[in-house]
Structure 1
Amino acid sequence: MFRGNSLDKTIEKAEKYFKKGDLYKARNMYLKALAQDPKNIGVLNNLAFIYHVLGDDATSKGYNEILLKECDELLKRETVKEILILKIPALVFLEKTDEVMEVLEEILKIDSKDVNALFQKSYYLEKNKRHREALDCIEEILKKHPYHIGSLLSKGRNLVELNEFEEAEKCYNLVFEIDPKNKAAINLKSQLIKKKYKVTLTSHDMMLKAVESFEMENFKASRDYFKKALDMNPEYDEIWFAQGELFIRTGYIGDAIESFKKAFEINPASGGIVKHKEFFKLLDRMKKINTILGFEEKE
């Protein structure tokens, strides 16, 4: 009884250090826990991860190999989903791809709707160019979680590989409605346009630079890149909408209103905003305040 309480306290301390990002102290506490319980698969898993992050892949490999051995021993007695899940990162690290697929299939036998298992399975299928099968997995996720961004991006990638560009673009556009400045969607849409139209530079390349500049609070550069993007192609609502957010951030409310209006002309669902009237009422109030303060020109 005492030993169990002592082990739990040691693991609890390790987890606190781990959450704080103090990996060296977390490692030391996990090593102490492992001395108390050498077959603890949770501790083995965390040690393997920590050593990998710390750059000691040789030691990480050793812990991953022990972890797999202990998981397999436990699975001989009973097939438990949580134990199967712990095997996956170890198998990935040890590059045992075929075994990863086997474990994912076992998890899906237990729970056919497991989102993480379906998502990982789709990733390995995509990697092996089995795009239709990957799409089947993704569709299962989207039935239950239609706005799962990772799945929408994966669906788009697989559709592009099948040259189904219009359907792929719909996936990326839906991501923009959820997250107007999603960099993965911007990059993937740029790749789609390049493949579809055989071009080397797109407006979305400029948009990506604009968003990155925005994030670094280099607003002048961001504005310049948005202008270049829209000069190249003014037909994408996500670029207008993202530019509108920049203008709000920098206090140019009149310009923001015009940019959002352009976005909504192209796509009424741009930015995921449905109540446009209330949205523009708010912006108009902000513009009036700015005009009084002298930040906007009187019309």
Structure 2
Amino acid sequence: MVNLLDPANVITRMFNAGKYDDMYNYCKNMLEKIPNDMVALQNISLSLIYLKQYEEAIIYCDKVLEIKNSDTYALKNKIFALESLKQYENVLNLCKQILSKNPRDVWTLNSMGLSLNELNQHQQALECYNKSLEIDPEDVTALMNKAISLSHLGSYQEAIEYYDLAQTIDPTLKEIPRAKSQLFEKLNMADESFLAAQGVLNKKMEKIKTDAKENKCSVFHQFCEDEFENYDSKNPND
């Protein structure tokens, strides 16, 4: 039977309900009784992050790290807070600390890459994303950020391929069609730019272009025709 009054369970319920103020106050009361309570210290920093009180969150992260200097949870909370404060050099130091213990921590590799991007060190950021993708080839975060890094470096075609991979894995990502479209535009590929903006995957673009050529119409017209046919097949009684 689950103990509903167990502090960890109480805090979890507050977090899941989005009651971050209540979560903060609950943890604060716990710390007044036991100043080094790890559950309270960990979760008060988490509540402060969600309350966007990043500097105070770091104070509590540091209290955890005074007790256990390699506590991954506290290090990651501190990284998140530092990212929000745009202290990217400090983020890199903490990422290195985590990766020295666990070089396969994908979350940390991606966080390190993001900070390197923010510091305009895009080639170094690529190395982080490549390591992430060696561990998990379908890591959408790494795929997206690798595409961003490549576009900063002017490798637009390669960036498009990585955006497309991410889109294939997660078609709900709304930012990808626009990003792909803009890169195709930079490459002066107007038809592909239009199709990308509509959410069309790269492998489907060639067929639409071939059909348009055979039907002696524009890619725009062919796309519209395909959409109408697709609609009619799904709604035969309309």
TM-score bucket of the superposed structures, by smaller chain? 0.7 to 0.9
Provide the residue aligned with 1:22 in structure 2: 19
Distance in 2 between residues matched to 1:188 and 1:36, nearest whole Å: 52
Specify whether residues 240 and 68 from structure 1 end up closer, same or farther in structure 2 by C-alpha distance, changes over 3 A only.
Answer: farther
Q: Say which SS state the counterpart of residue 197 (structure 1) adopts.
A: coil
- In structure 1, stretches of 5+ residues that fail to align are 53-59, 211-228, 257-286
Provide the residue aligned with 2:121 in structure 1: 130
Specify whether residues 117 and 186 from structure 1 end up closer, same or farther in structure 2 by C-alpha distance, changes over 3 A only.
Answer: same
Contact map agreement 2:88 2:118 (CA 8 A) in 1: no
Provide the residue aligned with 1:73 in structure 2: 66
Deviation for aligned residue 1:135: 0.9
Provide the residue aligned with 2:29 in structure 1: 32
Distance in 2 between residues matched to 1:95 and 1:162, nearest whole Å: 22
Contact map agreement 2:143 2:162 (CA 8 A) in 1: yes
CA shift digits 1:232-258 (9 cap, x unpaired): 895xxxx999x59x94xx6x32xx6xx
Contact map agreement 1:203 1:232 (CA 8 A) in 2: no
Provide the residue aligned with 1:231 in structure 2: 220
Contact map agreement 1:113 1:141 (CA 8 A) in 2: yes
Q: Kindly report the root-mean-square deviation, in angstroms, between the aligned alpha carbons of the 2 structures.
A: 3.6
Specify whether residues 88 and 156 from structure 1 end up closer, same or farther in structure 2 by C-alpha distance, changes over 3 A only.
Answer: same
CA shift digits 1:139-160 (9 cap, x unpaired): 1111121111111111111111
Distance in 2 between residues matched to 1:168 and 1:62, nearest whole Å: 35
Percent identity between the two aligned chains: 21
Contact map agreement 1:34 1:44 (CA 8 A) in 2: no
Specify whether residues 170 and 232 from structure 1 end up closer, same or farther in structure 2 by C-alpha distance, changes over 3 A only.
Answer: farther
Distance in 2 between residues matched to 1:240 and 1:17, nearest whole Å: 51
Provide the residue aligned with 2:207 in structure 1: none
1:49 aligns with 2:31: no
Q: Say which SS state the counterpart of residue 150 (structure 1) adopts.
A: helix
Provide the residue aligned with 1:111 in structure 2: 102
Q: Say which SS state the counterpart of residue 21 (structure 1) adopts.
A: coil
Specify whether residues 114 and 240 from structure 1 end up closer, same or farther in structure 2 by C-alpha distance, changes over 3 A only.
Answer: farther
Provide the residue aligned with 2:79 in structure 1: 88
CA shift digits 1:91-111 (9 cap, x unpaired): 334443221110100111101
Distance in 1 between residues matched to 2:112 and 2:58, nearest whole Å: 22
Contact map agreement 2:42 2:61 (CA 8 A) in 1: no
Distance in 2 between residues matched to 1:74 and 1:12, nearest whole Å: 23
Q: Say which SS state the counterpart of residue 182 (structure 1) adopts.
A: coil
Specify whether residues 85 and 160 from structure 1 end up closer, same or farther in structure 2 by C-alpha distance, changes over 3 A only.
Answer: same
CA shift digits 1:256-286 (9 cap, x unpaired): 6xxxxxxxxxxxxxxxxxxxxxxxxxxxxxx
Greater Cα radius of gyration, structure 1 or 2: 1
| Counterpart residue type for residue 147 of structure 1 | E
Contact map agreement 2:178 2:197 (CA 8 A) in 1: no
Distance in 1 between residues matched to 2:56 and 2:225, nearest whole Å: 50
Provide the residue aligned with 1:260 in structure 2: none
Provide the residue aligned with 1:169 in structure 2: 160
- In structure 2, stretches of 5+ residues that fail to align are 201-217
Distance in 2 between residues matched to 1:74 and 1:233, nearest whole Å: 65
CA shift digits 1:79-126 (9 cap, x unpaired): 343342232123334443221110100111101111001000111111
Deviation for aligned residue 1:198: 9.3
TM-score normalised by L of structure 1: 0.60
Distance in 1 between residues matched to 2:135 and 2:109, nearest whole Å: 12
Specify whether residues 37 and 190 from structure 1 end up closer, same or farther in structure 2 by C-alpha distance, changes over 3 A only.
Answer: farther
Provide the residue aligned with 2:214 in structure 1: none
5 Å-filtered alignment, 1:1-299, equals: 9-39=6-36, 40=38, 41-52=41-52, 60-61=53-54, 63-75=56-68, 78-197=69-188, 202-203=193-194, 207=198, 231=220, 247=230, 252-253=232-233, 290=236, 295=237
